[in-house]
């Protein structure tokens, strides 16, 4: 059953997701997937494809025989119309997760079909992170999997469904955690809101765009470890990001892992970039910046109300040349 989360977006309810969409994986894992599922734009139901990739590209289709979201008969019809090379998997809609061994073999077979240098996507990395979060890798370390556009887009759509939700923001703008660990006692709505708020906050640190901070932070946001000179409240992170990006314009923030428990989200972060700007009176010369940080966020009603943070400032200061190693 679809439930409308706004006028323009909808998603599966918990029963439909766990019982039908992901009915052949562990219910605990299925509920974790449900908690962070992507929302479907209403435009999907009315939009038409103007150029069909399968008309000009090698096409492959994995038919899920136990799929209760898309009829297997419809999948066979579509595959036949595409003249696709098919396999049939005794799985639900999430065959990549419930039958990873078969999916791995199929993707490796696809990677060997013809030269796809211009019309292919390397999807192995993002899919590996998704399935590692559930405890079983789809691709082995070192695999160099290049997949035709048709199957790669399907794989990337699954990655969006695993981690994208909440505000209708393009998935590519939100950093993707490499690992999410959930408190099993949390209800799905609470878990969804907590992870979404964290991703919004780290999209702000990853891009410097203030809109993400304003979406993530509550109006009564408090910095529990406020550095000297930084304003309290929402203006604090905006001030810090602006100053830091003056020194490191290409600053990047990667989420190594999120741990969600109660009303807290613990984030292990990796910051990187190059010191090409100025830090106080110190002018950069392109030095590599690479350090880690840890945040403890309190999330209430989908917004971050408090943050306690610890950065590896010694390493940062050494890389900036402020402190000698």
* Token digits of residue 296: 């403890």
Lowest mean pLDDT among 164-168, 214-218, 254-258: 164-168
Of 9-13, 118-122, 171-175, the one with minimum mean pLDDT is 118-122
Residue 226 has pLDDT above 90, yes or no: yes
pLDDT at 254: 96
pLDDT band for position 38 (cuts 50, 70, 90): low
Rounded mean pLDDT, 128-150: 37
**What mean pLDDT comes out for the span 51-60?**
81
Select the more confidently predicted residue: 13 or 203.
Answer: 203
Most confident of the following: 38-47, 90-99, 123-132, 134-143:
90-99
197 has a pLDDT exceeding 60: yes
For helices 188-207 and 235-247, what crossing angle results, to 10°?
40
Whether domain 171-320 has CATH 3.10.450.50: the reply is: yes
d(CA 156, CA 302): 26
- Number of C-beta neighbours around residue 141 at 10 A: 6
Q: What are the backbone angles phi and psi of residue 99, rounded to the nearest 5°?
A: -130, 65
DSSP lists the bridge partners of residue 255 as 269
pLDDT higher than 90, residue 21: no
Distant-in-sequence, close-in-space partners of 221: CB < 8 Å, separation ≥ 6: 233, 234, 236, 303, 304, 305, 306, 307
Domain parsing of the chain, residue ranges? 46-163, 171-320
pLDDT of residue 85: 85
Higher local confidence (pLDDT), 107 or 289: 289
- What's the rounded mean pLDDT across residues 287-315? 97
| CA distances, 232 to each of 172, 200, 204, 222 (Å) | 30, 20, 17, 7
pTM of this structure: 0.53
For residues 152 and 132, give the distance between their C-alpha atoms in angstroms, rounded to a whole number.
18
């Amino acid at each position: 059953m679809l439930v409308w989360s706004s006028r323009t977006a909808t998603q599966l309810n918990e029963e439909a997701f766990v019982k039908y969409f992901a009915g052949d994986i562990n219910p605990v894992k299925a509920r974790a997937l449900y908690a962070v599922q992507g929302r479907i734009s209403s435009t999907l139901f009315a939009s038409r494809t103007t150029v069909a990739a399968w008309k000009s590209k090698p096409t492959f289709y994995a038919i899920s025989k136990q799929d209760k979201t898309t009829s297997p008969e419809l999948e066979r019809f579509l595959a036949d119309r595409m003249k696709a090379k098919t396999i049939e998997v005794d799985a639900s809609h999430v065959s990549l997760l419930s039958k990873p061994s078969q999916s791995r073999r199929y993707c490796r077979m696809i990677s060997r079909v013809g030269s796809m240098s211009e019309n292919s996507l390397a999807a192995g990395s993002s899919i590996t992170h998704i399935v590692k979060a559930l405890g079983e890798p789809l691709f082995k370390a070192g695999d160099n999997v290049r997949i035709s556009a048709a199957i790669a887009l399907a794989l990337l759509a699954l990655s969006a469904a695993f981690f994208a939700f909440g505000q209708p923001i393009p998935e590519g703008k939100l950093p993707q955690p490499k690992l999410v660990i959930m408190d099993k006692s949390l209800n799905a709505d609470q878990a969804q809101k907590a992870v979404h708020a964290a991703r919004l906050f780290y999209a702000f640190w990853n891009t410097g765009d203030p809109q993400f901070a304003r979406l993530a932070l509550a109006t009564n946001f408090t910095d529990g470890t406020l550095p000297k000179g930084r304003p309290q409240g929402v203006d604090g992170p905006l001030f810090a990001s602006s100053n830091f990006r003056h020194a490191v314009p290409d600053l990047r923030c990667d989420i190594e892992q999120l741990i969600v428990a109660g009303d807290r989200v613990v984030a292990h972060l990796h910051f990187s970039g190059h010191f090409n700007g100025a830090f106080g009176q110190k002018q950069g010369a392109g030095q590599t910046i690479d350090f880690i940080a840890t945040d403890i966020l309190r999330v209430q009603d989908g917004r971050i109300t408090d943050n306690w943070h610890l950065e590896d400032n010694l390493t940062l200061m050494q890389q900036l040349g402020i402190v000698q190693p």
